[in-house]
Amino acid sequence: MKIATYNVNGVNGHLPVLLRWLADFQPDVVCLQELKAPQEKFPETAILNAGYHAIWHGQKSWNGVAILAKGQQPKETRRGLPGDPEDPHSRYIEAEINGILIGCLYLPNGNPAPGPKFDYKLQWFKRLTKYAKTLLAREIPVILTGDYNVIPTEFDCHKPSSWVDDALFFPESREAYRKLVAQGWTDALRELHPNEKIFTYWDYFRNAFPRNAGIRIDHFLLSPQIAPQLIAAGVDRDVRSWDKTSDHAPTWIELKSKTHRKKS
DNA sequence: ATGCCTATTATTAATAGA
């Protein structure tokens, strides 16, 4: 079972790239962020024609998240994080698929930092961390994936010195991520590739992709009830080189199916 | 130190992204 996360940076603006990638890669589940489309402008028909059923939470201009499942309807279990009913941003949606609870999140960017946007980022992080703890307490297979907008360590970026004034790399952001993972989550890509430079985002600026000046900010966190099934993880870097592409690349994991697990 | 580039919304400039 292949599960991917992809910050599309405009689901309509980059629809051709999304459809081409879906056709090539054939993931079973996809979490999308930055739809940048209101609820009624989600390209449901095009995605259905590609073989995927979807749930989504749109928003005009910014944010927006979706979960796609190949050949089946995702069973929605939540939209919006608990803790602030007034929060107007569409940044969290959750579904049950094949007995796995999948949370798709788009954590706030937080720039410029410090400032009110950074405060919002840390507040949102707190809500996520609190909610994540309740998920772990249920002792079920859970995957929290998406654009965390956090560079976890110096090793997760091309040149740490150029990110020190950025909300993605602020000590508070990294500490919040560290605390979240320390609840008992497995950072899937780092787990399987502890010594590899892995990037999921490259600036449109500065010729960043050809220079491989990237950062790792799209993450998969696995609960202990699903982590043992992790068999592969990676980034579809090629997609970042396509014409009219997002500044993120699709990031994915592969899980052993339960029936196979019993054999090994 | 700053802007670089790109998408969206709304009119050619502002805002946000990271």
Q: How much is the pLDDT for A259?
A: 56
Pick the CATH number of A2-255 from 3.60.10.10, 3.40.50.2000, 3.40.50.300, 3.90.550.10: 3.60.10.10
The domain ranges of chain A are 2-255
Per-residue pLDDT tens over the stretch A134-155: 999 999 999 999 999 999 999 9
Catalytic residue among A28, A52, A147, A201: A147
Specify which residues A105 forms β-bridges with.
Answer: A92, A146
Q: Collapsing DSSP states into helix, strand and coil, what is residue A28?
A: coil
Q: How much is the pLDDT for A257?
A: 83
Residues (165-204, chain A) with CB within 7 Å of strand B atoms: 166, 168, 201, 204
**Selection from A53, A47, A48 nearest residue A11 by Cα:** A47
Strand B and A224 CB separated by under 7 Å: no
Give the residue whose CA sits closest to B4 at C1'.
Answer: A205
Q: In what order do the strands lie in the sheet with A251-255?
A: A52-57, A65-70, A29-33, A2-7, A251-255, A230-235
Strand B and A244 CB separated by under 7 Å: yes
Rounded Cα distance, A180 and A173, in Å: 11
Rounded Cα distance, A74 and A62, in Å: 23
Q: How much is the pLDDT for A114?
A: 93
Distance A98 CA to B1 C1' (A): 51
Rounded Cα distance, A210 and A242, in Å: 12
Range list of H helices, chain A: 15-25, 44-49, 116-137, 171-182, 188-192, 258-263
Catalytic residue among A106, A148, A177, A201: A106
**Selection from A14, A27, A95 nearest residue A251 by Cα:** A27
Rounded Cα distance, A168 and A110, in Å: 7
Specify which residues A59 forms β-bridges with.
Answer: none
Name the burial class of residue A97, with classes exposed (0-12), middle (13-18) and buried (19+) by CB atoms within 10 angstroms of its CB. Answer: buried
Per-residue pLDDT tens over the stretch A12-50: 999 999 999 999 999 999 999 999 999 999 999 999 999
Q: Could you give the dihedral angle defined by the CA atoms of residues A48, A50, A52 and A55, in that order, rounded to the nearest 10 degrees?
A: -50
**Selection from A1, A2, A90, A16 nearest residue A47 by Cα:** A16
Rounded Cα distance, A223 and A112, in Å: 32
Q: Which two tokens stand for residue A114?
A: 């410090």
Strand B and A62 CB separated by under 7 Å: yes
Ranges of chain A whose pLDDT falls below 70: 258-264
Our measurement of the distance from residue A192's CA atom to the centroid of its chain's CA atoms, rounded to an integer in Å, reads 17
- Please, what's the largest Cα pairwise distance for chain A? 53
